[in-house]
Amino acid sequence: MHKGIAIYPGSFDPPTNGHLDLIERGAKIFEELVVAILRNSEKSPMFSVAERSEMLRQLTADLDNVRIDTFDGLMVEYAKSLDATCILRGIRAISDYEYELQMALMNRKLEPTLETVFMMPADKYSYVSSRLVREVAQAGGPVKGLVPEVVEQKLREKLDPAYKLRDARVSDVLGKRDLDKREKKKKRKKKA
């Protein structure tokens, strides 16, 4: 186990199963892992920082060496303020690599003593991203298996109208099928 503090910074909007998988892996190799949510007023997030913190807190409640925090400004400054020695980031596919490499090298330029450590989440989450989860959920699609249940529930609450619309469409289709069946039955009765 690596002594000292590592931070796992990100937007986590919302936390996915891929994030959780990485947190669990990180918790096994770092003495203390701080999951740090960027407070970025420029972006318009789906979930507030408070909502994201709460979800992550619930999801990591059983991991004693993991805590949730928020930061703004430069991540390396925040890391220094905690005396952290490592930054943990996940790489899912080669497409992540370029951006992550740039960020790691920029952070190294800003603070040479801070090491970035990359870990891979389970391959079953290699296509899962917060952005795609938001996109699917906003269109009323299913996100089961992509995000933890608490997040799924929060998405449902937040996007209630989209889910209602999908449910209405489904019951429309089912209702129409029912109607068709009844019509056919009637016709058969008439013929007999």
Binding mask 27-46 for ligand PNS (x = CB under 6 A): -----------x--------
Q: 130 an active-site residue?
A: yes
Query: From residue 112, how far is each of 76, 80, 166 by CA, in Å?
Result: 10, 11, 51
Residue nearest to ligand PNS (CB): 10
Single out the residue of 17, 107, 121, 125 in contact with ligand PNS (rule: CB under 6 A).
Answer: 107
User: What is the Cα–Cα distance from 191 to 186, expressed in whole angstroms?
Assistant: 9
Place of tokens 């199963």: 17
Q: Are 56 and 37 in contact (CB under 8 A)?
A: yes
In the bound state with ligand PNS, the residue whose beta carbon lies nearer, of 107 and 159, is 107
Query: Closest separation between CB of residue 126 and ligand PNS, Å?
Result: 16
DSSP class per residue in 48-114:
-HHHHHHHHHHHTTT-TTEEEEEE-S-HHHHHHHHTEEEEEEE--SHHHHHHHHHHHHHHHHH-TTP
Side by side, the strands of the sheet bearing 115-119 are: 66-71, 30-38, 2-10, 84-90, 115-119
Binding mask 2-21 for ligand PNS (x = CB under 6 A): -------xxx----------
Single out the residue of 4, 31, 74, 170 in contact with ligand PNS (rule: CB under 6 A).
Answer: 74
Query: Closest separation between CB of residue 128 and ligand PNS, Å?
Result: 13
How many amino acids of this chain bind ligand PNS (CB under 6 A)? Answer: 9
Cβ contacts of 156 within 8 Å, gap of 6 or more: 163
Q: 43 an active-site residue?
A: yes
Catalytic residue among 52, 53, 89, 92: 92
In the bound state with ligand PNS, the residue whose beta carbon lies nearer, of 38 and 159, is 38
Give me the active site residues, please.
19, 43, 92, 130
Binding site for ligand PNS (CB under 6 A): 9-11, 38, 74-75, 103, 106-107
